[in-house]
Amino acid sequence: MPAFDPQQPPPGIAPDIARRAVEWLFELQEAGNAGTTRQAFEAWLAEHPEHRRAWDQIQRVNARLHRVADDAPPIRKALLGGGRKNRRRELLIALLGAGTSGGLWLRSEHGMRTTGLLADLRTGVGERRTLTLPDGSELAINSDSSLDLRFDGHTRQLTLHRGEILVRTAPDEAKRPFIVATRHGTLRPLGTRFSVRILPDAAHIAVFEGAVAVQPAGDTAPRAPVQTGEQLRFAAGLAEAPHAADENTVAWRDGILVASGMPLAEFLAEVGRHRHGRLACAPEIADWRVSGTYRLDDTDRILDVLRDSLPVRIHFLTRYWVTVHPAA
């Protein structure tokens, strides 16, 4: 293996692998040398070279965090201090995914802010929030999301770093524009209710009332606004054609997941947004269809219902590694 050079950090680890490596770190610390957990970890490690690379890197990052925690300035102690296990978990995931050694990144407030670690508003996995913004607009924040707010005399801006939000804009006496910024582009709602979701390689906008102007990053060409009942994906320099939006996609605001003929793999991915760890299914049943209404505050119950309604079995390798298999 090449020598590790903190001045030349390796390429970033894929977010799902980074998150799983950090979960293994905490799980192994809790379980000690418990045989089942250790065997599951070794199996994961052997699955792909990227798993080994992620694990090697997270151990280096974790060691650096331990060394800086005691003499860190206040802003860092808020993240690294005792009893802040969830914050430490998220910090490790972000550092690993950024492909950094930890030392340089910890000195960069900008770096931590753009990954959401110092964002003005954050939700953990399984947490959802609804609040009123300074102008009276309503903001709902989905699980595992982060964003910054900038409200001043000239603009009203949300910068969404990760996750998903649902916004209902309010009229502004000062006529300040309302802007939602993402790394994939900028949105300008026109008296509206809409959702924005960050995807791995794009962003998604769905409009339920009014209209939203979409400007993909690096694109200056004028585009027709996305209208009520429309949705689309956009990324740097491009936006797909609008198609029909589904109000059920934002039922998470009320703690509900609504599925209507949803492929099983997609259904589990949605449930997994509200649950720590890996949740997947065997490839041969990925296209099985799921319908129903499910409460997101009890994902174990969702799995129980799934087992009762489909010919499947649920295999818990550990509490964080769950796979749905065909029953036969």
88 plus 139 within the same structural domain: no
pLDDT attached to residue 135: 92
Edge-to-edge strands, sheet with 312-318:
278-281, 321-326, 312-318
27: three-class secondary structure by DSSP: helix
261 Rama class: left (phi>0) / alpha (psi -120 to 50) / beta? left
49 located within any domain? yes
81 plus 96 within the same structural domain: yes
Q: What's the domain range around 36? A: 15-118
| Domain CATH number, residue 186 | 2.60.120.1440
* H or E element, residue 294: strand 289-295
Which pTM value belongs to this model? 0.71
9 located within any domain? no
pLDDT by position in tens, the chain (length 328): 333 333 333 456 676 777 788 778 777 877 666 677 888 888 888 888 888 888 888 777 666 655 544 444 443 444 434 444 555 555 555 555 544 444 444 444 455 555 555 678 888 889 999 999 999 999 999 999 999 999 988 999 999 999 999 999 999 988 999 999 999 999 999 989 999 999 989 999 999 999 999 999 998 887 889 999 999 999 998 999 999 999 999 999 999 999 999 999 999 999 999 998 889 999 999 999 999 999 999 999 999 999 999 999 999 988 888 999 999 7
| Domain CATH number, residue 280 | 3.55.50.30
What is the number of domains present in the chain? Answer: 3
* Strand ranges inside 199-288, DSSP E: 203-216, 226-227, 230-235, 238-239, 243-244, 256-263, 278-281
pLDDT attached to residue 118: 66
Tokens (6 digits) for 268: 């589990």
240 plus 150 within the same structural domain: yes
Displacement of CA 87 from its chain's centroid (Å) = 14
242 plus 139 within the same structural domain: yes
Q: Report how far residue 236's alpha carbon sits from residue 102's, in angstroms, rounded to the nearest whole number.
A: 29
The last residue of one of the domains, among 76, 98, 118, is: 118
261 located within any domain? yes
5 located within any domain? no
109 plus 154 within the same structural domain: no
128 plus 114 within the same structural domain: no
Q: Are 185 and 216 in contact (CB under 8 A)?
A: yes
Q: Where are the alpha helices (DSSP H) in 99-142?
A: 103-106, 109-114
pLDDT attached to residue 248: 95
pLDDT attached to residue 103: 43
Q: Provide the 8-state DSSP code for 56.
A: H
185 plus 200 within the same structural domain: yes
4 located within any domain? no
135 plus 225 within the same structural domain: yes
- Closest to 264 in 3D by CA, of 278, 279, 250, 252: 279
The last residue of one of the domains, among 248, 270, 303, is: 248
2 located within any domain? no
- Closest to 93 in 3D by CA, of 75, 82, 83, 79: 79
90 Rama class: left (phi>0) / alpha (psi -120 to 50) / beta? alpha
10 located within any domain? no
Q: Report how far residue 76's alpha carbon sits from residue 70's, in angstroms, rounded to the nearest whole number.
A: 10
1 located within any domain? no
91 plus 176 within the same structural domain: no
288 plus 315 within the same structural domain: yes
pLDDT attached to residue 58: 76
156 plus 85 within the same structural domain: no
The last residue of one of the domains, among 73, 99, 118, is: 118
107 plus 128 within the same structural domain: no
